[in-house]
Amino acid sequence: MRTITVAVPGSEYPVWIGSGALARLRPFSRSRGLPTKVFVIADARVAKQHGDRLRAELDRLAVPQSWILVPPGESSKCVSMLDRIWRTAVRSGIDRGSLLVAFGGGVIGDLAGFAAGTILRGVDFVQIPTTLLAMVDASVGGKTGINLPEGKNLVGVFLQPCAVCMDFDFLSSLPPRELRAGWAEVVKTAAIRDPGLFAKVERNAPAVAAGQLSVRSLAEIVGRSVEIKASVVAADERESGLRMILNFGHTLAHGLEAANAYRSLLHGEAVAIGMVFAARLGEELGVTRSGVASRIDSVLAASGLPTRPRGVSAASILSAMQRDKKRGPRGLRWVLLEAIGSTSIADAVSPELVSKVLRRFLSEGATESGRLDSSGARSPSTRKGLR
């Protein structure tokens, strides 16, 4: 078990990482003063699989608990679900001393975090991420919010949790495709900040594709990813500078997700495709060292992730990207790699160049689609993601 501290101005909180991390929740709650009530905002599928364990743990705190179940999937990150959470919590007697617990993947963390930041003008919340993606990215750093039909994460607040509990036991039921999607954010973290972690990710990629990643490797890799994210967030909580680098791959990804109306691609899969595209664009601009794009492409492909979009037109992606909130004074903002481990931000990339590189990129996807399965993944492993 490992504890990493995230320290942003005005708040400092622990991230517990490893099997059995849930046991840390009770002593932590006691040490900071018990909440009046606990409201668990849970992914309905996760609640079915692991809810008894969390419920038993919370029972031992002996404070009233209410559960609000949310259907799995990105489409739950919407204003009507938020409205349901607000109103159910109010009807169930939430007060300013209550604690919200986000129990699920990134969708739940973002939704519950936003509910915590807005209900009664703010109550405390704890993140219990149950997907790899939420562990290595979404649960740390205080970004919360919902999507609009116009685009991803367009409404939200920054609100740091009081603690993040990453218990690997919850990953046991994670579908392999979702484990691989989370792995894409690990690849991202390594690519932007740490050549050593990137090399480790390359070595472990075949094990991820085969559903054979050892818990020991996972612990090392998640630990390092969280350390990197914590250091970036500590330096720039509100994304006015350094934190933008965490959006590597996300400019195209958010366009792809909006163009597909959040249906066919998992977020991590869209980020995988977006990273290859950003590396290609960077090479075209002469910012990214030659060969980096193919290294990114190879590690993602070896991990069983899709690397080209399918079934979506350049025009719809380009139009969805125009609504992205990641814009600088001179246009859409791109996070580019100079090399593995170092980044550069560009907001004056000509739309004509983006369109040209995108059309070429899409045509490569069309030629290789015969080799992909219906999810877009290259290696259709049905085994569990961990051993």
Of 51, 104, 129, 141, the residue at the interface with ligand GLY (CB under 6 A) is 141
In angstroms, the CA 246 to CA 233 distance is 9
Residue 137 near ligand GLY by CB under 6 A: yes
Q: At closest approach, how far in Å is the CB of 141 from ligand GLY?
A: 4
Is residue 30 annotated as part of the catalytic site, yes or no?
no
Residue 275 engages ligand GLY in binding (rule: CB under 6 A): no
Phi, psi of 143 (to 5 degrees): -85, 130
User: Which residue number, 184 or 279, has a Cβ lying nearer to ligand GLY?
Assistant: 184
**Is 150 one of the catalytic residues?**
no
> If binding is defined by CB under 6 A, does position 385 make contact with ligand GLY?
no
Supply the minimum distance, in Å, between the C-beta of residue 341 and ligand GLY.
18
Least distance from ligand GLY to the Cβ atom of residue 171, Å: 19
Stretch that binds ligand GLY, among 114-122, 136-144, 156-164, 359-367 (CB under 6 A): 136-144
- For the bound state, the minimum distance from the C-beta of residue 342 to ligand GLY, rounded and expressed in Å, comes to 18
Nearer to ligand GLY, 44 or 157 (CB): 157
Q: Is 202 a catalytic residue?
A: no
Residue sitting closest to ligand GLY (CB): 246
Which residue, among 137, 333, 139, 372, has the nearest Cα to 254 in the 3D structure? 333
Q: Is residue 74 near ligand GLY by the rule CB under 6 A?
A: no
Q: Indicate which residues carry an active-site annotation.
A: 121, 143, 185, 229, 239, 243, 247, 250, 254, 267
Site residues (vs ligand GLY, CB under 6 A): 137, 141, 143, 243, 246
